[in-house]
Structure formats: structure tokens, C-alpha cells
Amino acid sequence: MSTSDDALPPTATGPEASLGMDAGLAPSGPPPDLEPELAAVPRSEELFAPVRGDIELCYQTYGDPGDPPLLLVMGLGGHMTWWPDELCRMLALEGLRVIRYDNRDVGRSSRVPERVSKATVAQAFLGRKVRTPYTMSDLAGDAVLLLDHLGIPAAHLAGVSMGGMIVQTVAVEHPDRVLSMTSIMSTTGRRRVGWQHPRLLPTLVAPNKPDLESYVAGTQVMSGLIGSPEYREAEDALRSRAEETHGRGVSRSGILRQMAAILTQPDRTRALGEVTVPVTVLHGKADRMVHVSGGRATAAAVPGAELVLVDGMGHDLPRALFDRFVGAITGSVRRAG
């Protein structure tokens, strides 16, 4: 029997009404045995930050608290654990205090009680005005409030997919809190760029069962559709990640609320022209979830932005490309001085 996510406490860890194949990023598998240097990187337990009266965010840190902070922001339906542990450790070895967190309505962070119907999402997809429980600005505000909780005046930011939209919004609306920005497989909010491949739609809107095996099967299907064609993850690695995600809590209603925020976000193109911090934009040429035009448009909008396009990369973070991700993020950091 499935449990309604509205009945669970903000830090619930049990599986909820499963999203299955609706998640907007193909999660990569867990790393193999770590090298001693990586294994030695300090990692906190999963912690909780009460950032608003009704919102508590689950987060985790890596590295030395005295190092420059790097906030990692995940995409639609993506748990903070979709920033792979090994990648976080690699970034910490570059001299960064790495912070990853669950957005609201994901994982072990708070659920918002208001529901969004599929009909509302469809109306928003068509560009019609709808009322949403929260906006992209609210999600960006959560990130800033997490920095406040940690006593961090400004940080380097990196975001994937919806997370890229969030960090772009932070850079536009809270410029004093951003030291550098890396936008990965994301877009500007302009509807004519960064579109989704139409073949994905039937899978995204298909009904899903809440049990673990259905969630695992859905993850495998979605990975086949949007994962990197030249950097495929092993089936056992995908299954392990899906089991971890399901165990931390997956919410269909939460994804619909996040989708509503994405579909009603403003076009940031003009505002991104005012961003002055170093920016790197990384995008896979084989991305079906957010077309590479979204990455190109983001880089074109920000003066001096560096654009990195990767052949054979889809909408995921494959281990074979960890060095590219580290290089893109630390490139932004180093340009910030």
C-alpha cells in the first residue's frame, strides 16, 4: 500500500507515491572502491536546515569548512545524492567546501502541501497563466537561506538542469551571494531554446506504481532515453542508485509542483546580461531532456561566459566525465580569483 506524501513529516525517509520515470535526470550509479585520497575527504552526516517556517532542507558537506564554499544544486526530482559521492570528493580535493542538498519537495527535505494537477502542468506547458505553489525565485531563495543557515556570505554555485535554472536565478536576484556560477545541461527560461525531445513526453506522463521494482524499472527506462549514449551506466549501478533514491523518498506530487515552477519561470536572457561573476556553461550535444540550444543561449546571454559542449553526453553525470565536470566548475572558481 502506498502512502500519501502529505502525511509524511518533513524529514521522512520512507518511499512515497513514487514518481518512477518522471524524474528529470538520469541518475548515475555509485562509485567503485575509492582511492585512499578520495576516501580520506571528510563528509558530514545528512543534516537539516530550517530555512523557512514551513521548509526544512536536508544537506551534506564535504571537505574543510575553511575552504571556499561550493553549493551544488540538483535538477527536477533529483536528490542531492545524484551529485555522486566520488564527484563531490573530487571537488573537495580541489580545495572547496562542497555542499549538496535536497530541494524542497525532494528526498528528505520538506514537502509543500498544496497539490498541482496534471491539467495545471499541461496549461503551463502551453504558456497559459496558472497559479503555482512556488516559483523559481522561491527555489533560489531556499538556496540563499541555506547559505544563511551555514553562515556563508557568498559561494560558488553549480547547478544541473532545474538546478542550473536555480543558480542562474540566484545570480540574477541575489548577485552579492555568488562568487562564480557553473550552469550544466540547463537553459535560460526562454521557450524557444532548451526544448525537450517530443519522444520523451509519453514516458514522462505515464502512470507509475509506487513500489520499488516499478521505480527501478522506470529509472532504467528513463536512463535509456536521456542518458549519455557514449557513456552508458551499468545496469547494476543504475539499480543501486534507484534503490537509494526510492529509500530516501520520492514524491509524484512534489515533482508536479517543481514542474509548475519550471514551466512558469521567466525568460532570464536579458537579466543574465547583468551577471558579472565568472560563468561556465557545460552541455551535452546529445541531451534530449534540455536541448543543447539551452546551453548555447545561456552562454550567449552572459558576458564572458565560457561554453563547454561535450560530444556523446546526454542528461546525466556519467563517471567517465567527472574530470570534465570538475574542470568546468573549478575553471569558474579560479577565474573568480
Q: How far apart are CA 70 and CA 235, in angstroms?
A: 31
pLDDT of residue 26: 52
Q: For strand 47-52 and strand 155-160, is the pairing parallel, antiparallel, or unpaired?
A: unpaired
pLDDT tens sequence across 77-95 = 999 999 999 999 999 999 9
Of residues 2 and 133, more confidently modeled: 133
Query: What is the C-alpha separation between 169 and 306, in angstroms, rounded?
Result: 18
pLDDT at 8 (0 to 100):
39
Looking at residue 171, its pLDDT comes to 98
Helix-helix angle 162-173:252-263, to 10 degrees: 50
Spatial separation of the C-alpha atoms in residues 250 and 247, rounded to whole Å: 8
* Most distant pair of Cα atoms in the chain: their distance: 54
Q: What is the pLDDT of residues 158-211, one digit of tens each?
A: 999 999 999 999 999 999 999 999 999 999 999 999 998 878 767 766 667 889
pTM of the model: 0.91
pLDDT tens track for 268-301: 999 999 999 999 999 999 999 999 999 999 999 9
Q: What is the pLDDT of residues 105-161, one digit of tens each?
A: 999 999 999 999 888 988 998 899 999 999 999 999 999 999 999 999 999 999 999
Residue 106 amino acid letter: V
Confidence of residue 10 (pLDDT cuts 50, 70, 90): very low
Confidence class of residue 31 from pLDDT cuts 50, 70 and 90?
Answer: low
pLDDT of residue 125: 86
User: Element (H or E) spanning 98, and its range?
Assistant: strand 97-101
DSSP one-letter code for 30: P
Domains and CATH numbers, the chain: 30-198+253-336 (3.40.50.1820)
pLDDT band of residue 2 (cuts 50, 70, 90) is: very low
